[in-house]
Structure 1
Amino acid sequence: MAANVSSEGVTVRKMLPILSASTIGTAIEWYDFFLYGFFSATIFNKLFFPLLDPVTGILASFTTYYIGFIARPIGGAFFGWFGDRVGRKSVLVTTLLLMGISTCVMGLVPTYGQIGFMAPLLITILRFLQGAGVGGEWGGSVLLSLEYGDNRRRGFWTSWPQTGVPLGLALAAIVVIVIRSIYSGADFTSIGWRIPFFFSAVLIVIGLIIRIRILDTPAFTRLKEENRLSKAPLSEAFKYHWKEIILTALLRSGEQAPFYLFTTFVLGYGVTTLGIPLNLLYTGIIVAAVVSFIFMPTASYASDIIGRKRWFMVGTVLMALFAFPFFLLLQTKNPVAVVFAMAFAIGICHAAVYGPQAAFISEHFGAKLRYSGASLGYQLASLTAGGPAPIIATLLIANYHSYVPLAIYIIIMAVISFFAALALKEYASKDAQLDRDEVESSLSPANTSV
């Protein structure tokens, strides 16, 4: 039987190297992932789809962007299998290399004007590899924090890898602003856009140095010593946890779809439709990332106290309530209003649910199948929520020429998350879900009192 993970001996000082390895590595991977999103909303349609009209070009750019989301559950399944069979640490090193190398090579890809149709094909392949890397990364980074931490503060510990998202988001926005200030106009579209991708090489080295020093988690080490590793973690995860996988995927609807509207779609929409300066939108993203970095662990700590379900459901309601105000504030084009809209949407509404989500999802799976199960639940939402969101939003604007359908779309996604959270069990401050063999052992006659 798995013993309770006591808070005794689990201190901030002991957790700091673990949290650093998971958070910094995750931030680097998200920096890579967000760079593509920024450029797909602003310049990739001109560089790789110049023969299409502006709307169709943006749709084509977002479609290649979506390829990364299609790859995420594939990467989650593939690397989840290795994470449950070989170990958390090995997979984390591999995904960091895959993501970083793919991003660096993106900076070398010629444009459509140079090599024709091969250009969008190459960028799509590299985007797929990026998505596969992110798909395998999340489960390992979260499990590293969860399996070294204790039950009482599980939400708080696992929120730190989640802060890799605002860190990567802010870093990507800052680098783009700096490069745009150095390379303006035609210089940026010819050479300047490549430099942020090359910068990923430096970040890879930093991430590897930190991650290589970390040992595998106590939970995985114990499973290995007891010869209890699953032989087929992927199929067993579907067999025993299909309900949890579906519900945790739906759980992310009201978090992931709005997030990519707030961070990716808003760049093209804000500049083209509303006439908001691009650098102002990037500034809004940076401010939002700072607020998110602070609020995410705070919200997660609160979920440890009042319960993951209750907190998450309140967060989805907040997201739905802010859907219309977000777009109304953007319409003003006032710099303060625009930055506030983005900071509140990303830094408060999104962070409120994204921070506790790591524990909420992963604690529904036993240690034997946790990498596979949690990765699948988390990454399948990429197909239904995160990936399609900018495409759906672009089509809604093109057809209705109004922000109202966009706000309604966000509300619908939030409602789906609300009911998915309602259907899931509460594990806050308790042991996470046991593996099937542990459950059967606890129900055996030898362990049953008369």
Structure 2
Amino acid sequence: MPRPDPPRIAPAARRTVLASFLGSTFEWFDFGLYGTTAALVFGHVFFPAQSSAIGSLLALTTTAVGFFARPIGGLVFGHFGDRVGRKKLLILTMLLMGIPTFVIGLLPGYATIGAAAPVILLFLRVLQGIGLGGEYAGAALATIESVPKERRGFFGSIPQLGNPVGGIFSSGLVLLCTWLSSDTQYEDWVWRLPFLLSGILLVYTLVVRTRLAESVDFTRLQKRRGVAKAPLITLLRNHWAPLLLALGARAADAITGNVVGPVVTAYIVTYLHRSDSIGIVGTMIPSIICLPLMLYLGRVGDRYGVRRTFVWSVLSMAVTTFPLFALLQTGTLLWMVLGITLFRLCNSAQFAVQSTFLAELFPTEVRYTAVSFVYQVGSILGGLTPPVAYAMLVASDGSPWWLALAVVVSVLFSAACAAVIGLRISRADRRTTDGPSTDGADLAERTTRA
């Protein structure tokens, strides 16, 4: 018997998907641009009094500050997102990301204004972090809550594409700037151009996002007057078990995404003494390849379950961690790029279904708060990763194997947490007579009850 056609998507939902994708792309462009540029030149521009290795460590520490600010944005925007809706908050998150990014392009370095330069840089990075803290859950949920449940895996992967697409744009601009200028020119002023060009993207994306429609699920919640007065308290009181497990499941992405990003780039430059463009190319190639892969895995999640797809994708990162560093140490461009590409593709695989995996664990009235809490508290691990991982490299005189082992352990822990979530829900299903449901509220109730 042929499979029935999937439910059609309403025009308003399609506009929501587009607006969420463009906004997510812009936000990740801003955040990725900072991380890449910090690894390449911020040590020289804002911390010139330090040695090369220590300057890179301090620059990566400013990257970490943005991650620590993200939980603040997640909690604040999550609260109001669950209270007044998804749409209104997403415009503000974009402004908090876009304006600081543009200003960084105008910020004088240490040689011009002294210690005020890194202080202002840190402040702007905090604003970026707060903006992105509210963006992730809002963009994902605006899409997921506006499409039929049978297609949430696929359409939920589309806002996730904003991460690699934003990375392609940011890395591409940085790579172009490094190719068209000398090292001295790039460190002096050319690095600023991508930050200034982000102003154009900000204006365009804001225009699109103002047309974003409120999500279907939240509109229904408002009609039945089910909006929670204190979403965070409700979340902690009634859904603490799936919340803790989701935090553990999210940890691997927070750690691995930052190891294979700024840490690997800094490792290539400082310890392998190779061109910084290797790390950038190694970012762009998998970012392009992963686009159809993520959409395909979204469909796989709809067919076989997003939790199962998520668990196997997380485990794939454990398999490719040691090969990543082994291939980097060959010093051969082809093998180095291959190692980065394989690892990044595995990371993208779990990221494709991550938002849908998290969203289905919690009911609508606390979903924005819950997903933001999980994602942004997990970002604290991501913020710690660059300086801690780089410090491990410094302590081991550039040997990457202890770092690789730590990554594998974190990945296995996350896979175990995600698997336990599935086991708890399966046990709850066996206690009911109606069988499993894909409704987020029902999943949350069954997980807590188990």
TM-score normalised per structure 2: 0.91
How far apart are the structure 1 equivalents of 2:31 and 2:389?
Answer: 20
Question: Using the alignment, how far apart are the partners of 2:236 and 2:443 within structure 1?
Answer: 13
Structure 1: unaligned runs, 5 residues or longer? 1-5, 440-450
Q: Is the 8 A contact 1:7 1:152 kept in 2?
A: no
Amino acid of the structure 1 residue aligned with 2:188: S
Superposition deviation, residue 310 in structure 1: 2.2
Q: Aligned partners of 1:253 and 1:246: how far apart in 2?
A: 11
Matched, 1:241 2:239: yes
Q: Alignment identity in percent?
A: 34
1:265-414, aligned counterparts within 5 Å?
A: 265-347=263-345, 349-384=346-381, 386-401=382-397, 402-414=399-411
Paired with 2:83 and 2:146, the residues of 1 have a C-alpha distance of 18
Q: CA deviation at 1:228?
A: 2.1
Question: Which shifted more, 25-34 or 327-336?
Answer: 327-336
Q: What is the CA distance between 1:360 and its match in structure 2?
A: 0.7
Q: Give secondary structure in 2 for the equivalent of 1:430.
A: coil
Aligned partner letter, 2:417? A
Q: Distance in 2 between matches of 1:246 and 1:333?
A: 41
Residue 7 of structure 1 and its aligned partner are, at CA, apart by 8.8
Aligned to 2:117: 119
Q: Is the 8 A contact 1:320 1:414 kept in 2?
A: yes
Report the CA distance between 1:37 and its aligned residue. Answer: 0.5
Distance 1:12-1:274 versus aligned 2 partners, 3 A rule: farther
SS at structure 1 position matched to 2:171: helix
Counterpart contact for 1:237–1:373, Cα < 8 Å: yes
The question of whether the paired residues in 1 share the 8 Å contact of 2:40 and 2:276 is answered with no
CA deviation vs aligned residue, 1:175-213 (integer Å, no higher than 9, x gap): 111222333222211211111111111111121121111
Distance in 1, Cα, partners of 2:404 & 2:27: 29
Q: How many residues align?
A: 431
CA contact (8 A) 2:246 2:374 kept: yes
Residue 312 of structure 1 deviates from its aligned partner by 2.0
Q: What letter corresponds to residue 327 of structure 2 in structure 1?
A: L
Query: Please, which moves more after superposition, 250-259 or 89-98?
Result: 250-259
C-alpha distance 11-332 of structure 1, shift in aligned 2 (>3 A):
same
2-side partners of 1:420 and 1:12: how far apart?
36
Given that 2:60 and 2:262 are in contact with CA atoms closer than 8 Å, whether structure 1 keeps it comes out as no
For residues 437 and 332 of structure 2, the distance between their equivalents in structure 1, rounded to whole angstroms, comes to 44
CA apart distance, 1:8: 7.0
Check conservation: 1:249, 1:379, Cα contact below 8 A. no
1:176 aligns to what? 174
Deviates further, 312-321 or 123-132:
312-321
2:176 aligned with 1:155: no
Cα RMSD, aligned residues only = 2.1
Q: Report the Cα distance in structure 2 between the residues aligned to 1:91 and 1:289, rounded to whole angstroms.
A: 28
User: 1:7–1:150: 8 Å Cα contact kept in structure 2?
Assistant: no
Letter in 1 for 2:391: L
In the TM superposition, what is the alpha-carbon distance from 1:226 to its structure 2 partner? 2.4
Of 414, 435, 441 in structure 2, the residue corresponding to residue 433 of structure 1 is 441
1:281 positional shift = 2.1
DSSP-derived class of the 1:380 partner: helix
Alignment partners' CA distance in 2, 1:395 and 1:97: 34
Q: What is the distance in 1 between the residues matched to 2:84 and 2:12?
A: 24
What is the identity, as a one-letter code, of the residue corresponding to 2:332?
N
- Alignment partner for residue 210 of structure 1, among 208, 211, 216? 208
Q: Distance in 1 between matches of 2:232 and 2:181?
A: 47
Structure 1 residue 314, shift from structure 2 partner: 1.6
In structure 2, C-alpha distance between the alignment counterparts of 1:140 and 1:280, rounded to whole Å:
34
Distance 1:207 1:243 in 2: 37
CA positional deviation for 1:306: 1.9
Out of 263-272 and 310-319, give the one that drifted further.
Answer: 310-319
Q: How does 1:86-235 map to 2 (within 5 A)?
A: 86-235=84-233
Deviation at residue 9 of structure 1 after TM alignment: 4.8
- Unaligned residue ranges in structure 2 (runs of 5+): 427-435
Instruction: Determine if contact 1:319/1:350 at 8 Å carries over to the other structure.
Output: yes
**Conserved in 2, the CA contact under 8 Å of 1:300 and 1:355?**
yes
Q: What is the SS of the residue equivalent to 1:50? A: coil
Answering whether residue 50 of structure 2 is matched by residue 20 of structure 1, we say no
1:58-105 CA distances to partner (integer Å, 9 max, x unpaired)?
221111111100111110000111111111011111111110001111
- The amino acid across from 2:108 in the alignment is P
Within 2, Cα distance between the matches of 1:8 and 1:360? Answer: 20
Q: 1:47 to 1:377 in 2, by over 3 A?
A: same
Q: Over residues 108-150 of structure 1, what are the superposed CA-to-partner deviations in whole Å (9 max), with x where a residue is unaligned?
A: 2111111111111100010010011110001111111111111
Contact 2:53 2:270 in 1 (8 A): no
Partners in 1 of 2:207 and 2:59 — Cα distance?
34
Q: 1:224 deviation in Å?
A: 1.9
Task: Tell me the distance in 1 between the aligned counterparts of 2:441 and 2:34.
Answer: 36
TM-score of the aligned structures, taking structure 1 as reference length: 0.91
Secondary structure of 1:183's counterpart equals: coil
